[in-house]
Amino acid sequence: MTMPFAAHERQIAWRYLRARRAEGGVSTMTWISLIGITLAVFALIATLALRAGLRSDFVDQILGAEPHARALAAPVYGPDGRLDRAWRDYGAIAHRLAAVDGVVAAAPVVRGQAMATAKGRSAGVEIHGMRPADLRALPLLADPEWSRGALDGLEHGIALGAGIAAELGLRVGDRVRIISPDGVKTAFGTSPRISAWEVVYVFRAGRPDIDRTRAYLPLAEAQAFFNREGRADEIALRVAAPQAIDALRPALARAAGGDALIWTWEDASGAFLRALHMQDNAIFIVLAILILIAALNIVSGLIMLVKNKGRDIGILRTMGLPQGAVLRVFFLCGAAVGTAGTVLGIALGVVFALNIDHVYALVDSLSGRGVADLEAQGFIFPSAVLEPVDILATAALSLGLSWFVTLFPARRAARMNPVEALRYE
């Protein structure tokens, strides 16, 4: 197999790279260029890994406490003029949806707004009525960051988010009153419905929008409390491949029938995910400029090298070395620095991402405060996820820029007139 560079070209390039400044080399500039490329590539790899980790954590939080999709019935106006989207045959609909290939579970859900009161305090809550077995299928609720009590007692009690429990001063075993303004209809109008349940489970899912607002009741209890006997507000769906939920949308719509609406987790959170994607692109462009700046150090070093090695170039050309060989020698000098810096930068970035927990431990030791305390104040410590496409894109960008900018001083060296180079020698 023919090598792209001749042995004598590689030998000359290597000699120039390791030559000291006293010998006409630019070893100091070479080290500066190498370190610049390494740090720029490391910064890009580490940043993209943290951004991918942030996106992954966000998606996991969504999928861990919410259904992957919701099936909503076609809207119907009731006798009182109110818009009603409740499923009246939710059992049969849930059975048909569960039979769709790729669907793991289909669970009827009743939702409603209410007021929770206890010990002279009150808080607004969003009640979700679900069967305990369906609730246990949600990872962030069945196995949350922190919990007290057990979901097994939900048949005769209520589960509260940790934020609600803290606001009302409730513990497992206490009783909480739930007040709904849409209660019993009498001759004098609608009177509020008030019911009390024992707190059997308190959870912290890690999402403030859930921990501070969400409460869970058994499905039958929620139907009776919100006057929805025999009805469900939606069918909550969990699928085997939530990232490919859009591919299931047509089949789900056919199984639900009529003018049912399939609302997926991507529909609910798509704007945030698109914003993250746009930020990722902006960060990539900014850090790509840093790599370009580091690559320009290679140009500076090569220009100095060409100037210092003018006599050598003249002698080599006089001995019959063609212009192409001279160009390849100096291209090798610059490309070797760019390639070595890229490899080292990627290695450092990978090590950083794989040891992100140790990095956070270092933050603990330097700040004197735990990560949990800093997170409570709004600091975010995402995991680090290495995406092969990010590593390949970074490598291609760094190698492309460093190799491309090397061509200009290498071409200048190749076009140097040997007579002019040796005139004053």
Number of domains in the chain: 2
Q: Does 388 reside within a domain? A: yes
Do residues 186 and 150 share a domain? yes
Whether 421 has a pLDDT exceeding 60, the answer reads no
Q: Does 265 reside within a domain? A: no
Whether 23 has a pLDDT exceeding 50, the answer reads no
pLDDT mean over 240-256: 89
The whole domain housing 104 covers: 74-259
Tell me which of 203, 226, 259 is where a domain ends.
259
pLDDT mean over 195-213: 88
Q: Which residue has the higher pLDDT, 256 or 185?
A: 256
Do residues 80 and 147 share a domain? yes
> pTM to 2 decimals?
0.73
The pLDDT score that the predictor gives to residue 21 is: 52
Do residues 232 and 277 share a domain? no
pLDDT digits (tens, 9 = 90+) for 290-325: 888 888 888 877 777 666 666 666 666 666 666 667
Q: Does 65 reside within a domain? A: no
Angle between helices 388-414 and 265-308 (to 10 degrees): 20
Q: Does 264 reside within a domain? A: no
pLDDT category at 183 given cuts 50, 70, 90 is low
Kindly report the average pLDDT of the chain as a whole number: 81
Q: Does 2 reside within a domain? A: no
Whether 353 has a pLDDT exceeding 50, the answer reads yes
pLDDT mean over 91-112: 91
Do residues 212 and 357 share a domain? no
Do residues 43 and 190 share a domain? no
